[in-house]
Chain A
Amino acid sequence: DQQVKQNSPSLSVQEGRISILNCDYTNSMFDYFLWYKKYPAEGPTFLISISSIKDKNEDGRFTVFLNKSAKHLSLHIVPSQPGDSAVYFCAARGAGSWGKLQFGAGTQVVVTP
């Protein structure tokens, strides 16, 4: 039973435009949401997170939006750059289980010139 879902396996965007990655979750007890970026044959690197008590968090070109009522979050990358081409994982932390992270299946982003 997958509690964190990324329904778009891939996304292609032009350099300079906005990339929007979506993530849905089913467990209302998640208290933190995170985005990780992963290159092939490497470990994921942390990108940005948001607490369940907030609805927006921004860090440079990256902004995460959280809609708790819809159990939906999104990651906006503006402007997209070629180095942003990677797989992006959405993750959610369980509140009552010492914070196990549950991951989505990932979205492959390709930024074209």
Chain B
Amino acid sequence: DGGITQSPKYLFRKEGQNVTLSCEQNLNHDAMYWYRQDPGQGLRLIYYSQIVNDFQKGDIAEGYSVSREKKESFPLTVTSAQKNPTAFYLCASRLDRATEAFFGQGTRLTVV
């Protein structure tokens, strides 16, 4: 089955620690995206990548980093510089200039 897999579903980390969220897709999609969802704020774009070894900052990139070494994978690292990291993180992918993006199931990150 083709799809986007995010892992883990729930993640707990201590304040000050970096943490990496995994996103893998086997849809052969070119573009991949990371969004963050907070209550009442919809989905905000963190980073996106249109092609391997290239990525661009979204609207709220501060405190995050990404890599795109393989077409299938787009991991997101939440660094200690991110002031309010507790949120629901969503990864998405899209084929070329297709209209819709497909989303993974999300990772709920809680920093304590």
Interface residues of A (CB under 8 A from B): 2, 4, 6, 9, 32, 34, 36, 41-46, 49, 89, 91, 93, 98-106
B97 is an interface residue with CB less than 8 A from chain A:
yes
Which residues of the partner chain B approach A34 to less than 8 Å between Cβ atoms?
Answer: 99-100
Whether the pair A9, B40 counts as a contact (CB closer than 8 A) is yes
Of A42, A43, A89, the most chain B CB neighbours within 10 A belong to: A43
Binary per-residue interface labels of chain B (24-54) against chain A in the complex, 1 for a CB within 8 Å, 0 otherwise: 0000000101010000111111001010000
CA–CA, A76 to B101, complex, Å?
21
CA–CA, A105 to B40, complex, Å?
6
Which residues of the partner chain B approach A91 to less than 8 Å between Cβ atoms?
Answer: 43
Which residues of the partner chain A approach B6 to less than 8 Å between Cβ atoms?
Answer: 43
Query: How far is the CB of A15 from the nearest CB of chain B, in Å?
Result: 27
**B contact residues, total (Cβ < 8 Å):** 29
A89 and B43 in contact, given A41-B108, A98-B50, A100-B48 (Cβ under 8 angstroms): yes
Which residues of the partner chain A approach B31 to less than 8 Å between Cβ atoms?
Answer: 98-99
Whether the pair A104, B42 counts as a contact (CB closer than 8 A) is yes
B75 is an interface residue with CB less than 8 A from chain A:
no
B103 is an interface residue with CB less than 8 A from chain A:
yes
Whether the pair B99, A49 counts as a contact (CB closer than 8 A) is yes
Which residues of the partner chain A approach B102 to less than 8 Å between Cβ atoms?
Answer: 46
A45 and B94 in contact, given A9-B40, A104-B42 (Cβ under 8 angstroms): no
B73 is an interface residue with CB less than 8 A from chain A:
no
Which residues of the partner chain B approach A45 to less than 8 Å between Cβ atoms?
Answer: 103
Whether the pair B40, A43 counts as a contact (CB closer than 8 A) is no
List 15 interface pairs A-B (beta carbons < 8 Å), by A numbering: A4-B42, A34-B100, A36-B103, A43-B103, A43-B106, A45-B103, A46-B100, A49-B99, A89-B43, A91-B43, A99-B94, A101-B45, A103-B35, A105-B40, A105-B41
Whether the pair A43, B90 counts as a contact (CB closer than 8 A) is yes
Which residues of the partner chain A approach B92 to less than 8 Å between Cβ atoms?
Answer: 43, 101
Within 8 A of A (CB), among B53-112: 58, 88, 90, 92, 94, 97, 99-106, 108
